[in-house]
Amino acid sequence: MNDRRTALITGITGQDGSYLAELLLSKGYRVVGMTRRTSTDVHERIGHLGDQIEIVSGDLLDQSSMTKIVEDIKPDEIYNLAAQSFVPTSWAQPVLTGEFTGLGVTRVLEAIRATRRPIRFYQASSSEMFGKVQDVPQTEHTAFYPRSPYGVAKVYGHWITVNYRESYDMYAVSGLLFNHESARRGREFVTRKISDGVARIKHGLARELRLGNLDARRDWGFAGDYVRAMWLMLQAQTPDDYVIATGRTHSVREFCRLAFAVADLDYERYVVEDPKFVRPAEVDLLIGDPAKAKRVLGWEPVTSFEDLVERMVRCDLARLQPLARV
Ligand code: NAP
Ligand code: G4F
């Protein structure tokens, strides 16, 4: 009898998808990733996994593709990581963000319900749902007050997950994950924009780095630590929702100061505040309390903020070294 477990990951080409795939492979899973059709290759983050993973084509906008994939693959666990995940884009494309990041969750849940199999489901919820924070630090009991169409869509995704758990007795959980970063982070997000910017300036490829609100504060962790929490949530005896965070907060300015220092540079000489990157509504302060995850799941972050910043900058310095002009 083959007791190898099968996991289906939507959003496998993203930052978290790539780390989660590595983690599940190391645990002996059969890993299947769902990707949408594109005319260009977007497999940069999972290319190194080669034929260790299977790829199937589907789209969270399309119910029939979701239902067929779940029926064919027969996963034991589904991790729904796919989303339009960049907050500023959600003001430019609010309807698409709602369709994909919000309603897309229902499509996966409906696909699971149609199979009548005991599939465990993880929904990638977000600290962005806390928005204009109602408690500091934020816990599983803090009321949501989203400040972007993205945050609003994620609130829908969270509650539909809770609703299917309660309505159909499904093992469905929502991970309230705070910002987590890595050298695989998309270059539009502020941490990677900074590490990439530092490397460009150090190598003579750029003269300045233009950013928005330097006083915004985030609870930043390492993505590799956070995918472990996703897996642990699906191994628990009972399905429940958890805040996953470090419990520490830092400003964008502090991130800049540390990141430029890794390359022996003073951020004040290079960072320019540009209103173009300031948002219509801002989330000023995010800080999560991961006590429940520690108590119930035994989860704790391992990587410190300082190590994360240093690793990201060193990776970008090495990546851009071949192009260096100085
Ligand atoms: P990411 O790097 O932006 O990856 C998003 C994934 O979703 C990619 O595989 C992307 O596929 C797919 N995707 C995006 N728009 C799509 C669309 N319209 N149709 C089909 N697929 C689409 O995000 P991440 O940082 O790994 O985050 C994973 C999940 O966790 C997301 O749901 C995000 O909202 C949530 N989250 C992230 C954080 C964080 O700090 N990273 C915190 C809380 C929650 P393509 O390659 O085809 O674009
Ligand atoms: O890196 P960010 O774009 O991440 P944001 O908006 O917090 O969203 C990320 O984390 C969420 C979890 O809370 C996820 F759900 C979401 O999918 C995504 O992964 O911006 C962080 C902060 C913001 O306050 C922003 O205003 O940095 C500030 N910032 C300042 N200058 C900037 C910039 N952000 C970006 N992207 N670019 C700037 O130039």
Ranges under pLDDT 50 in the chain: none
CA–CA gap between residue 177 and residue 220 (Å, rounded):
10
Is residue 61 classed as helix, strand or coil in its secondary structure?
coil
Q: How far is the CA of 87 from the centre of ligand 2 (A)?
A: 7
Evaluate: CB of 256 within 6 angstroms of ligand 2.
no
Among the bound ligands, name the one nearest to the CA of residue 189: 2
Q: What pLDDT, on a 0 to 100 scale, did the predictor assign at position 251?
A: 97
Evaluate: CB of 189 within 6 angstroms of ligand 2.
yes
230 contacts 224 by C-beta, under 8 angstroms: no
CA 201 to chain centre: 27
Among the bound ligands, name the one nearest to the CA of residue 82: 1
Atom 4 of ligand 1: nearest residue by CA position: 14
CA–CA gap between residue 82 and residue 11 (Å, rounded):
4
Give the number of other Cβ atoms within 10 Å of residue 10's Cβ. 26
**DSSP strand pairing (250-251 vs 217-218):** antiparallel
Q: What pLDDT, on a 0 to 100 scale, did the predictor assign at position 3?
A: 83
96 contacts 137 by C-beta, under 8 angstroms: no
Q: Which residues contact 173 (CB under 8 A, 6 or more apart)?
A: 120, 121, 122, 123, 161, 165, 233, 234, 236, 239, 240, 241, 242
Evaluate: CB of 84 within 6 angstroms of ligand 1.
yes
Q: What pLDDT, on a 0 to 100 scale, did the predictor assign at position 37?
A: 85
Question: Residue 207 corresponds to which tokens in the numbers above?
Answer: 């003269």
Among the bound ligands, name the one nearest to the CA of residue 256: 2
Q: How far is the CA of 30 from the centre of ligand 1 (A)?
A: 21
Looking at residue 233, its amino acid is M
Residue 215: burial class (beta carbons within 10 Å; 0-12, 13-18, 19+) = exposed
CA–CA gap between residue 68 and residue 74 (Å, rounded):
10
Distances (CA, A) of 311 to 19, 212, 237: 16, 23, 35
- Peptide bond just before 137 cis, omega within 30 deg: yes
Q: How far is the CA of 120 from the centre of ligand 1 (A)?
A: 20
Q: What pLDDT, on a 0 to 100 scale, did the predictor assign at position 85?
A: 97
Evaluate: CB of 211 within 6 angstroms of ligand 2.
yes
CA–CA gap between residue 147 and residue 126 (Å, rounded):
12
Among the bound ligands, name the one nearest to the CA of residue 44: 1
Q: What pLDDT, on a 0 to 100 scale, did the predictor assign at position 326?
A: 82
CA–CA gap between residue 180 and residue 219 (Å, rounded):
8
Question: Residue 200 corresponds to which tokens in the numbers above?
Answer: 């460009």
Q: What pLDDT, on a 0 to 100 scale, did the predictor assign at position 40?
A: 80
Atom 3 of ligand 1: nearest residue by CA position: 85
CA–CA gap between residue 230 and residue 174 (Å, rounded):
9
CA–CA gap between residue 7 and residue 74 (Å, rounded):
9
CA–CA gap between residue 12 and residue 165 (Å, rounded):
24
Q: How far is the CA of 316 from the centre of ligand 1 (A)?
A: 21
Strand-pair partners of 53: 31
Atom 1 of ligand 1: nearest residue by CA position: 14
CA–CA gap between residue 78 and residue 80 (Å, rounded):
6
pLDDT single digits (tens) 199-241: 999 999 999 999 999 999 999 999 999 999 999 999 999 999 9
Which of 189, 194, 195 has most ligand 2 atoms within 8 Å of CB, for mutation?
189
Is residue 8 classed as helix, strand or coil in its secondary structure?
strand
CA–CA gap between residue 74 and residue 9 (Å, rounded):
13
153 contacts 98 by C-beta, under 8 angstroms: yes
